[in-house]
Amino acid sequence: MKQKKPSAFQTLMGYAGGHKVLTYMSLLLSAACGGLALMPFVCLWRIIKEVIDVAPDFSAATSITHNGWMAVVYSLVFMLVYFGALMCSHLSAFRVAGNMKKDLLHHIAKLPIGFADEMGSGKVRRIVMEATSSAETLLAHNLPDMAQAIVTPIAMVVLLFIYDWRFGLACLVSIILAFAMMFQMAGPAMAEDMRQYQNALENMSNEAVEYVRGIPVVKTFGQTVFSFHRFKKSIDDYGNFCLQYTFRCRKSMILFEMFINSAFAFLIGLTLFLTRGGAATTDILVNFLFYVIFTPIITTTMMRVMFISENSMKIDDAVARVNSILDIRPLPEAKEKKEPSGAYVEIKDATYRYREDAQPAVKNLSLSADKDQIVALVGPSGSGKTTVAGLISRFFDAQEGSIRIGGVDVRDIGKDELMNTVSYVFQDSRLLKRSIADNLRIAKPDASDTELKEALHAAQCDDIIGRLPQGMDTVLGSEGTYLSGGEQQRIAIARAILKKAPVVILDEATAFADPENEVLVQKAFTELTKHSTVIMIAHRLSTIRNADKIYVLDHGEVVEKGTHDELIEKDGLYSAMWKEYQSAISWKVGEAV
């Protein structure tokens, strides 16, 4: 038997802990407010009725003051009770949103690094921030309003039929017609619209992040947003969806507004019918005034019900998206953890797909790297180089084949041990807005100042430290202290040297280095190889010319391997890439005549 999934509300209450009772208390107090909100109108009607009954001898109206003060008292009680309801709901909502965000972040921290690349950092950020914010809004505002919106119409219908069932029925006609129109807009079909709307927002968020990262390219080459077709398409898709949905709801929304604001028209029609032939009575006039007073409440209540229905679907979608992350399982940990013996890296017959329906990023790939060797991975964009590096670091697991370090499958190495074994220098190294020393100690928290200085010296960072006002204790980002891309890479390499990991992976480590920085980075690589097996991914072929072994990848497979000189002699892909590279670096802009 299929197990029934908990509702969004049940899921949220699971995060409330001991504050769950506050949510139920807020619902009870809000429900009480639904009845209290009507009492001032009843008092107002009593005043009008008394005035009409005693006319023209208004001195006989002795209860006007009493009813007036009772209207004030009911209003004050309503505000106090409603304030108490919101206090309870907000305390519970903040706890739920905080616990949900903590659970999400703790779970994300356990997931492999490849998870964020596959889902998209913009989408992950939006789920973490906006889904939890939607939960807070639902519990803090929407649920109390929903309880009040349910009780108010019930109490209102009771009052409508107590005083004169004919006028009550006339008001009910407009409510039924308006509800029918509202159901067309906010009914079950809207759940799918809400899902598509959130998908469009997430896609736009993802593409916006990529666009921001590519702004240097846009400015360098004088391009516009139209050069980023995926970003523009995500904006167009979002705009088209919103327009189509708006046009689809246009007729229903117009009719809803018309019916919900037409209760008075039905009341006037009924009054004219009851007073036909001049048969007007005081009771009919008084009841007519009472129901005219109630007409604005009907409009306000129905509008609130409509927006609450929309927000309820929104939170259902938000909870589903939160669960889409929580349902992703971390990579399995080995029951009997093994320690690698040495820094020999071997990939054998590895195949990996980022999605089940996608082409393999790497297919039946095999390669190896001996201890203290520099092994380079080159190839066209999309050939699988970064995927190979991710498999070695266990950012994700291969669906087929094996990846071994020191003779042990990476799946049998404990997470902490693997992190100590492999050091990864990313293409775009990000340094924290802390001191240089703090950034280095990420690799080794208990490192002494002497060790830090030695690592910085080995990474050719002496010139960087020398010009900073407080040396390695200078806080990056403070007082205009910033490093260039190449300088950040050298600091990242110093961190890898400090870690002394047996295996170091350099993913385009010279991508943002100018020629001067590239020379220094190359010297830092030499220091790395003294104690580590280095696996380099490079587009600048000059950086891997002295590599001990070069693997040339194409469409996820190794098509060539050997040293630089051996590969140049072959008339293959590497030789062609080297000729293109040489042609590019020798190209110069001719002087104008």
d(CA 406, CA 193) in angstroms, rounded, equals 52
Query: Which of 495, 511, 369 shows the shortest CA–CA distance to 427?
Result: 511
d(CA 213, CA 534) in angstroms, rounded, equals 28
- The answer to whether residue 592 sits within a structural domain is no
User: What's the token pair of residue 438?
Assistant: 């703090």
- The answer to whether residue 80 sits within a structural domain is yes
d(CA 376, CA 505) in angstroms, rounded, equals 10
Read off the pLDDT of each residue in 367-374 and give the average, rounded to a whole number: 86
Q: Where in the sequence is the domain holding 578, given as residue range(s)?
A: 345-585
- The answer to whether residue 570 sits within a structural domain is yes
What tens digit of pLDDT does each residue of 178-204 get? 777 777 776 666 666 767 777 777 777
316 & 370 share domain = no
Angle (nearest 5°) at CA 507 between 560 and 432: 175
307 & 164 share domain = yes
d(CA 422, CA 395) in angstroms, rounded, equals 11
Please give the model's pTM, rounded to 2 decimal places. 0.64
315 & 352 share domain = no
266 & 313 share domain = yes
Q: Helix H segments across 187-281?
A: 189-213, 215-220, 229-260, 263-274
- The answer to whether residue 425 sits within a structural domain is yes
298 & 366 share domain = no
DSSP-derived pairing of the beta strands 503-507 and 422-425: parallel
The rounded percent of the chain whose pLDDT value lies above 90 is 10
Domain boundary among 299, 326, 353: 326
Query: Which of 174, 97, 83 shows the shortest CA–CA distance to 129?
Result: 97
Helix (H, G, I), strand (E, B) or coil at 67: helix
318 & 413 share domain = no
Domain boundary among 277, 293, 326: 326
- The answer to whether residue 337 sits within a structural domain is no
236 & 385 share domain = no
Rg (CA), the chain: 35
Answer yes or no: are the C-beta atoms of 134 and 17 closer than 8 Å: no
How many domains does the structure of the chain reveal?
2
Helix (H, G, I), strand (E, B) or coil at 219: helix
Q: By mean pLDDT, which of 221-230, 248-257, 533-542, 584-593 is the weakest?
A: 584-593
- Say what the alpha-carbon torsion angle 501, 503, 507, 510 is, to the nearest 10 degrees: 70
Strands (E), 467-543: 503-507, 533-537
354 & 460 share domain = yes
321 & 381 share domain = no
Helix (H) or strand (E) segment spanning residue 47 = helix 39-54
- The answer to whether residue 404 sits within a structural domain is yes
132 & 242 share domain = yes
416 & 513 share domain = yes
- 510: domain CATH number is 3.40.50.300
Q: Residue 464: count other Cβ atoms within 10 Å of its Cβ.
A: 23
Read off the pLDDT of each residue in 23-29 and give the average, rounded to a whole number: 90
More confident: 124 or 515: 124
What tens digit of pLDDT does each residue of 475-529 get? 887 666 778 777 887 888 888 888 888 888 888 765 555 566 667 767 776 766 6
- 77: domain CATH number is 1.20.1560.10
- The answer to whether residue 3 sits within a structural domain is no
Domain boundary among 297, 326, 355: 326
- The answer to whether residue 229 sits within a structural domain is yes
310 & 377 share domain = no
What tens digit of pLDDT does each residue of 213-249 get? 666 655 555 555 555 677 778 888 888 888 887 887 7
